[in-house]
Structure 1
Amino acid sequence: MTAVAAERDAVVAGLGGPPAQHELPAGTLARVPVPPHTAPDPLSYADVLVGGVGPAAVAAASGAALTAAALEGRPYGLVVSAGIGGGFAPGAPVGSVVVADAIVAADLGAQTPDGFVPVTGLGFGTVEHRPPAGLVQDVAAAAGAVVGTVLTVSTVTGSAARAAELTDHHPRALAEAMEGFGVAEAAAAHGCPVLEIRAVSNAVGPRDRAAWRIPEALAALTAAVAELGAARWQGSPPARAIGRKNPS
């Protein structure tokens, strides 16, 4: 799952393409065949979908894709939220790649006279999803990534004060983006594991578009996906669940 077409294209390039196009009510899937994990396995493929910007849009698109796959009798084994995002210095500099060991909704809750209270503090909901720990470590090693919390926000950080507030509440935060938690919510509803992979295009803090390095971050995302695919094809376990198998 990606937010925009540029991220989808970066992921498809890393997978090796060329993709076939498959239409869903949620959008057009780019389906990329990938070699089997072991010789007896049938051909596998990864589906890449543009879900839209923000947790609500991407949750709806993810849920639609997961439901369609389940109704076809070919459920996905893993959902990956992939794209670019902001990085918290010094742990995730521009050009680095982050794999989430916690996917956290950083602004889902209520403002009170005593400060922000997450929705869980109000007695309902959830604000965190934990990808499988072993898978996270294997994927990070294959992709040359750092591991930490990735925050999902509905409003991108634009000041040093807000960046400091986020790191005070989430000291292990390495990256900020707008979609991971929405993808994770949809995956959890289907009992499917989730990952989030972010290539860092800018520092979280004062908004300075002149300092953004979007092409470089997209290139880093492509390289990370390619390394992940190479590890899979060599028989290591991390990406076995990416995409799904074609039983035909």
Structure 2
Amino acid sequence: MTRRTLVVTAVAAEADSVAGGLAIPWPGAGTSPLPGGYVLRRHTGPATHPAVDGPVVDVLVAGVGPAAAAAATSTALAHATALAHPYDLVVSAGIAGGFLPHAPIGTVVVSDAVVAADLGAQTPDGYLAVEELGFGRSAHPVAPGLAGAVAEALADGGLRHVVGPVLTVSTVTGTAGRAAELAGRHPGAAAEAMEGFGVAEAAAAYGVPVVEIRAVSNAVGPRDRAAWRIGEALAALRHAFQLVGQTLFVEPEESSSCPS
């Protein structure tokens, strides 16, 4: 058995909720600087075996958008690998817009795929993803056992959740037409956010499995700031990481040891 080490990436306010959730089962935490000015907040869990130290979860504050998220995640992965303590799992976390009716406000979405929703080309015949253009990729599937283990931890804690694709966009949806277009192009899509695909690309480069966990703060569609429930979503995100910190992050999962 070896010590389990994970990294969770999020933007600043969301990282506070993640760290707050982890601090409930694991009160001890410290900070560690990374090249590029990034900072990790390290949470160490209790040992579950006499011969193995407790698991470690590093919370990494990354920037907004897929490029910034990829840069931060790659830096953390490279640093851990150089120290001969590579990560076992990468998690992209935060709040998101939810596609109705699959993911109403307050729901936690667990990705079964991380999808770059607008990485392709518009043509007279419609949108073409990069795969259809003959180069690149626009989706990272999540190992079913990994997504299932996260969902099981949330279900056991009584937290409302759904499993489905999480779309990464560089421009947040603000109209009903755009929401319908994305939902039609990506059947079953549960949420829309801005960082997951960048995180997944970095994880794939290092052969590390990835999953995205998002709490829904608003519906994907027309921008109605009066209807946003950011506080509720951040509280749900905090609760989600309290639950996975007590279960999934503690015991190695055979299914999550395989790259997605």
TM-score between the two structures when normalised by the length of structure 2: 0.88
1:216 alignment partner AA = E
1:93 alignment partner AA = P
> Which residue does the alignment assign to 2:244?
228
- Mapped contact 1:95–1:200 kept (Cα < 8 A): yes
> Which residue does the alignment assign to 2:11?
4
1:140 alignment partner AA = A
The answer as to 2:72 corresponding to 1:65 is no
Instruction: Give the alignment partner of residue 28 of structure 1, picking from 39, 42, 60.
Output: 39
Q: Give the 3-state SS of the residue equivalent to 1:49 in structure 2.
A: strand
Residue 239 of structure 1 deviates from its aligned partner by 10
Residue 237 of structure 1 deviates from its aligned partner by 3.3
Q: Aligned in 2, Cα 1:9/1:230: closer, same or farther, shift over 3 Å?
A: same
> Which residue does the alignment assign to 1:42?
53
**CA distance in structure 1 between the partners assigned to 2:208 and 2:103 by the alignment:** 28
Residue 68 of structure 1 deviates from its aligned partner by 0.5
Q: Aligned in 2, Cα 1:37/1:155: closer, same or farther, shift over 3 Å?
A: farther
> Which residue does the alignment assign to 2:232?
216
Q: Aligned in 2, Cα 1:83/1:233: closer, same or farther, shift over 3 Å?
A: closer
Residue 186 of structure 1 deviates from its aligned partner by 0.1
Question: What is the 5 A alignment of 1:120-199?
Answer: 120-144=131-155, 145-199=161-215
Residue 117 of structure 1 deviates from its aligned partner by 0.9
> Which residue does the alignment assign to 2:4?
none
Q: Aligned in 2, Cα 1:168/1:232: closer, same or farther, shift over 3 Å?
A: closer
> Which residue does the alignment assign to 2:20?
13
> Which residue does the alignment assign to 1:245?
none
1:12 alignment partner AA = A
- Mapped contact 1:37–1:233 kept (Cα < 8 A): no
Residue 36 of structure 1 deviates from its aligned partner by 2.9
> Which residue does the alignment assign to 1:244?
none
**CA distance in structure 2 between the partners assigned to 1:61 and 1:5 by the alignment:** 13
Q: Give the 3-state SS of the residue equivalent to 2:247 in structure 1.
A: helix
Extract unaligned runs of 5+ from structure 2. Answer: 1-7, 156-160
RMSD over equivalenced CA pairs, Å: 1.8
2:181 alignment partner AA = E
**CA distance in structure 1 between the partners assigned to 2:256 and 2:20 by the alignment:** 19
110-119 or 193-202, larger mean C-alpha shift: 110-119
Residue 45 of structure 1 deviates from its aligned partner by 1.3
Q: Aligned in 2, Cα 1:36/1:146: closer, same or farther, shift over 3 Å?
A: farther
Residue 40 of structure 1 deviates from its aligned partner by 2.8
Q: Give the 3-state SS of the residue equivalent to 1:142 in structure 2.
A: helix
Q: Deviations over 1:172-203 (max 9, x none)?
A: 10000000000000000000000100000000
Q: Give the 3-state SS of the residue equivalent to 2:239 in structure 1.
A: helix
> Which residue does the alignment assign to 2:3?
none
1:57 alignment partner AA = A
Q: Aligned in 2, Cα 1:234/1:56: closer, same or farther, shift over 3 Å?
A: closer
2:199 alignment partner AA = V
Residue 19 of structure 1 deviates from its aligned partner by 2.5
1:76 alignment partner AA = Y
Q: Aligned in 2, Cα 1:85/1:118: closer, same or farther, shift over 3 Å?
A: same
Extract unaligned runs of 5+ from structure 1. Answer: 242-248
TM-score between the two structures when normalised by the length of structure 1: 0.92
2:165 alignment partner AA = T
- Mapped contact 1:15–1:34 kept (Cα < 8 A): no
> Which residue does the alignment assign to 2:158?
none
**CA distance in structure 2 between the partners assigned to 1:176 and 1:43 by the alignment:** 34
- Mapped contact 2:143–2:255 kept (Cα < 8 A): no
Q: Give the 3-state SS of the residue equivalent to 2:121 in structure 1.
A: strand
